[in-house]
Each structure stands twice: as C-alpha cells, then as structure tokens.
Amino acid sequence: MALVTTKKMLLDAQKGGYAIGAFNVENMEMVMAVVAAASELRAPVIMQTTPSTVKYASLKYFYENVKVAAESVDIPVAIHLDHGDSFDLAMQALRTGYTSIMIDGSHNPYEQNISLTKSVADSCRPSGIPVEAELGKVGGKEDDLDGGRGGLTDPKEAAEFVNRTGVTSLAVAIGTAHGIYTGEPKIDLERLSQIRNNVDIPLVLHGASGLSDEVIKECIKRGICKVNFATELRIAFSNGVKKVLDDIPDTYDPKKYFAVGGENIKQLVKNRIKVCGCDGKVNN
C-alpha cells in the first residue's frame, strides 16, 4: 500500500495502550528486513533516517527505498525524518514526500526550541504531515548527534511547549540515551507519568536500544506510543556481515553477507514489535 503518515498510527496506539516500533534504516537491506518483519507480524511500522544517514545518500534515495517496500505489503508504513536538525532539512523532507518529520530543537534554549519547532509544525500542517519535537535533551551520542549528559523533560514545560508549538507528538527525556549504554540506565518513570498527565498528544521514547523489555513495556503503560530503535539494528546487521566474512573470508558477493545481516535485522525487529505490543494490530 502507499506510504501513510504516523498520525493515525500513533493515535491508535495511544488509544490501544501499545506503541509503534520506529526503526532507523541505513540501506536497502535494512529497509527490506524491517518491512518483512512488520508484514509477517501484521504490525504498522515506521522507518526513519537521521541527518547523517541522509548525508550518506539523500532524502530521495531513502524515500524511494521505503516507498517501494511499502507498496509491496498491505500494512501501514511511514517514513520519518529522525532528529531533523534545521528548518531547511525539515522542509526538504516535506517536499521529498516524507510522511512524518521530527524537528529537534532540544539543543537550543527553551524559547528558541519553541520558535523553531512551531515554524516547522506550521509549515507541515497544511499538508497533513505530523511533526514530532523533543523537549529536554536525550543524552548520549549517535551519528552526528551528541546529547552529552542530557537534560530531563520538565512536565510543566511540556504542556506549554505542546500548546505553543502545535506538534503532534513529543519525544521526552526521562533518562534514556542514544548509542550504547555504558552503565545501567536510570529511567525516571514517575516523570514520564507526570508528563503524560500534562500532555494529551502521543509521547515518544528515544534511546531504547539497550533497555530491558520490562522497562520498555512499563514506559508504554505510562504513555509512550512510539519507541525508537537504531543502535541495536546497526550492531545486528554488522554482526551478520562479520560472521560471514569470518567464516568464509573469500566471500566476495555482497548479497551473501548482506542477506545474513538482513536476517539478523528481521529477527530483532520482530522481537521489538512484540515488545511494543503492535503485532497483530493490522486487520486483514
């Protein structure tokens, strides 16, 4: 089917008490694996690209990959700009055909974050494209994104931020981090509940790679409607490629080792979809 926006996906998840898995993809094989996993489990799915991924190829390259994948299945598939770092990039994604856009102004002072986020939300609204923003700052490092030690979302600020910007979903900082955790993450679940009480739009969890299934499920119970996975997909794909080259060093056909990397992605994504509880949510 044709690409869809994330609006209905996330509102359905919010109503149903589950979350949508959102998976960062780096190449065609990852796109194929993610959509195959979602299709087998009858789950709606979001595929994402970051600014650094876009630099590697282009918005158009990834859009066309995901578009073709979506047309090959009968489940809702969306393509999302993850951590859009400027108004210009957000507008380029909008013009390219992305069906969901994140503008990340969390590195800016509060008022500047509001101004930038509102400008993107206002520009996307006439086209019906939902906009995600971030308040607080998810820590850690991934690609060109460096959140440092992060900063937690203020529940009271969250309500004002949503009202003033008009965003349709909000990524919250509750102790998660991008990249690989160096210790046991301390997730502020009570803060998440307070944000949920103050904000009525779907909430998003970044930095889920490395969190336990139990923590992710508890976050969903407390209002998370979209869960982002990136680093662990990269690790799974790379491990598959490495295994083939270690076992059969003279392998020269990339299809052979990419297939193993892709199968690793497929199995991981199926697991994450089940953790999010969105499996079986697409009616036949």
153 annotated ligand binder? no
277 annotated ligand binder? no
193 annotated ligand binder? no
Give the integer Cα–Cα distance in Å for 34 and 32: 6
| Residues belonging to the active site | 82
104 annotated ligand binder? yes
228 annotated ligand binder? yes
53 annotated ligand binder? no
80 annotated ligand binder? no
Query: Could you give the C-alpha distances from 32 to 38, 61, 153, 159, 232, in angstroms and in order?
Result: 10, 14, 35, 38, 17
Residue 154 has what DSSP assignment? P
* Strand locations in 76-159 (E): 77-84, 100-103, 131-135, 139-142, 145-146
- Picking from 101, 137, 103, 100, the residue whose alpha carbon sits closest to that of residue 117 is 103
Q: According to DSSP H, which parts of 41-109 are helical?
A: 51-56, 59-71, 87-96
107 annotated ligand binder? no
Q: Can you tell me which residue has the tokens 């996307």?
A: 124
72 annotated ligand binder? no
163 annotated ligand binder? no
Q: Can you tell me which residue has the tokens 């509060």?
A: 110
Other Cβ atoms less than 10 A from the Cβ of 248: the count is: 11
CA dihedral of 234, 240, 243, 245, whole degrees rounded to 10? -90
Give the integer Cα–Cα distance in Å for 11 and 5: 11
* Strand locations in the chain (E): 20-24, 45-49, 77-84, 100-103, 131-135, 139-142, 145-146, 169-172, 177-178, 203-205, 224-229
Query: Is residue 155 within a helix (H) or strand (E), and if so which, with residue range?
Result: helix 155-165
| Binding site feature residues | 83, 104, 134, 178-179, 206-209, 228-231
| Binding site feature residues for dihydroxyacetone phosphate | 179, 207-209, 228-231
| Binding site feature residues for Zn(2+) | 83, 104, 134, 178, 206
